[in-house]
Amino acid sequence: MNQSVQHASSFRERLEPHKSIPTHSFKSYNSQFDPLTAPVLSGNENYAPTYWVGTAGTPPEDDGPLMGDTEADIVIIGGGFTGLSTALTLAEQFGAAPLVLEANRTAWGCTSRNGGQGQNASGRLYRSQWIEKWGLDTAKRLDAEIREGFDYFKDLVSGIECDAQDGGHLYIAHRAKKMAFLENEGRVMKEIFGYQTRMLNREQLHEEYVADQEAAGALLEPDGVGIHPLKLAFGYLKRARAAGAKVHTSSPVLGWETHNGIHYLRTPNGIVKAKRVAVATGGYTPNGLHPHLSGKIMPILSNSIVTRPLTAAERAEAGLHSTTFITDTRTLRHYYRLLPDGSMQCGSRSSLTGADADNPVHLERLKEGLYRKFPSLRGIPIAYSWWGWVDVSHDMMPRIVQPNSEESIYYAIGYGGNGVSFSAMAGRRLAERVMGIQRPQFELPIYQSPLPSHLFRPFRRLGQALLYRWYHLRDEVL
């Protein structure tokens, strides 16, 4: 018996027996899944009931569940934006044949549950905070990298039918006291980084863009493309597979062992023997996947709703004059926009835990947030309601790294809600790292160090609850 067969055999003996996944149907979506407590993804689940799923059409063909043992040079865990972008780059640029393992359906996690806001950003820190944290030179180099990533994202979008809305980004001051913050950020972006930002007072905002009744004014950033995220992901999927990538859905990684530098990834119907593994699991990274990723992100739930399509008269009454997408200045921010079919989408924070995710209080809180901004929408039926996990790193910035130079493991994770556009570049850079490419950009902080751990990891949910109370006081009262 050869060594690889011995490894596979002993691996099976140590772990649970295989449980075959049916290829003809999907399990119901588990609305209470919680990555902080789940050791692995169960697999073979249907999509969450999002607007994007309801309007994307029939998913393109994938390679179905992995059946039987196999070998692969490169395995990518996760079939969302980042994993598919990585596969696309590896196949198109390097002629590789990566194998993608997706636990459920293509783009099942963050990718089919976000707000579709493609910003010229990544992570949750502002450019002024980059300067404070790393100094001006590093901040400028980081801006150049993220700007290049945004251009790459736009290039991908231009070749895929994904309902793109190119109109920049409105950052709205939800209270008058927030205008000074926006003015400073706009000045930093214009004077230091060369962006043609523009400040709008309340009247200008209402007349030209949107009559948000909470708004004291806004900062207009020129770069921003709203997209249909699932249509875009399906485009990535088709391109990646056409170039030679394999995308196996309903194939969760239930166990991972490494022997002599070779990775053995157990799926329900077979073991994959891989030389290199890239992880792109976002907010759905279970703590049992691998020690390099255990406790490295704080998964945060975000709720989203979409109204039925509004009539022209309803849009006029609400003051919805533009499809430019919007976020407000709350720490627990609202993000919202008018979609191409006239529907209004809005999202914000949700439950602390998966167990409480479907409590109707969270839906009602989000609806009230929308109605404060646009009172005339009260009573308009909500056509879609869903929630999903956001991968927030402990220092609020993503990482695209090889955490240990002695191990052929790589990951891209931690976007903090700003991954719609930068995930394209992150996947591209992750592919380059897997292939051993060296770039000066890899000296930047997001490429140089692994995700930080949290000192009080067992008490994160308690800390989150306390922080949410403080954020509410700071956003609404103080």
282: domain CATH number is: 3.50.50.60
Q: DSSP class of residue 89? A: H
**How is residue 305 written in tokens?**
């709703």
Instruction: Tell me the mean pLDDT in the region 195-205.
Output: 98
Instruction: Tell me the mean pLDDT in the region 305-315.
Output: 98
Q: Which residue's structure tokens are 């359906």?
A: 105
Three-state SS at 185? helix
Specify the amino acid at residue 208. E
The per-residue b/e assignment along 174-191, b for 16 or more CB within 10 angstroms, e otherwise, is beeebbeebeebbebbee
Instruction: Tell me the mean pLDDT in the region 30-37.
Output: 92
- Please give the pLDDT value at position 469: 86
Instruction: Tell me the mean pLDDT in the region 306-322.
Output: 98
Judge whether 161 lies within some domain.
no
Phi, psi of 43 (to 5 degrees): 90, 160
pLDDT of 19 higher than 60: no
Judge whether 152 lies within some domain.
no
For residue 131, give Cα distances in angstroms to 140, 192, 219: 8, 10, 20
Judge whether 382 lies within some domain.
no
Nearest CA-CA partner of 8 in 70, 98, 66, 100: 70
pLDDT in tens, 140-172: 999 999 999 999 999 999 999 999 999 999 999
Confidence of residue 458 (pLDDT cuts 50, 70, 90): low
Nearest CA-CA partner of 171 in 320, 335, 327: 327
In contact, 285 and 35? CB cutoff 8 Å: yes
Q: Which comes out higher in pLDDT, residue 295 or 228?
A: 228
**How is residue 259 written in tokens?**
């022997």
Beta bridge partners of 259: 262
Judge whether 91 lies within some domain.
yes
Crossing angle of helices 229-242 and 81-94, in 10° steps, is 30
pLDDT of 120 higher than 90: yes
> Which H/E stretch holds residue 364?
helix 360-373
Percent of the chain with pLDDT over 70: 94
Judge whether 432 lies within some domain.
yes
Confidence of residue 39 (pLDDT cuts 50, 70, 90): confident
Judge whether 387 lies within some domain.
no
Judge whether 249 lies within some domain.
yes
- Beta strand 217-221 with 198-201 is antiparallel
- Please give the pLDDT value at position 414: 97
Stretch among 13-22, 112-121, 206-215, 393-402 having the lowest mean pLDDT: 13-22
Mean pLDDT of the residues in the chain: 93
Please count the structural domains in the chain: 1
Phi, psi of 50 (to 5 degrees): -90, 160
**How is residue 275 written in tokens?**
């030389």
Q: pTM here?
A: 0.94
Judge whether 246 lies within some domain.
yes
Confidence of residue 22 (pLDDT cuts 50, 70, 90): very low
Look up the domain containing 282 and give its range: 49-112+228-295+394-461
Strands across the sheet with 117-119, in order? 117-119, 224-226, 165-166
194 CB contacts (<8 Å, ≥6 apart)?
none
Confidence of residue 456 (pLDDT cuts 50, 70, 90): low
Confidence of residue 8 (pLDDT cuts 50, 70, 90): very low
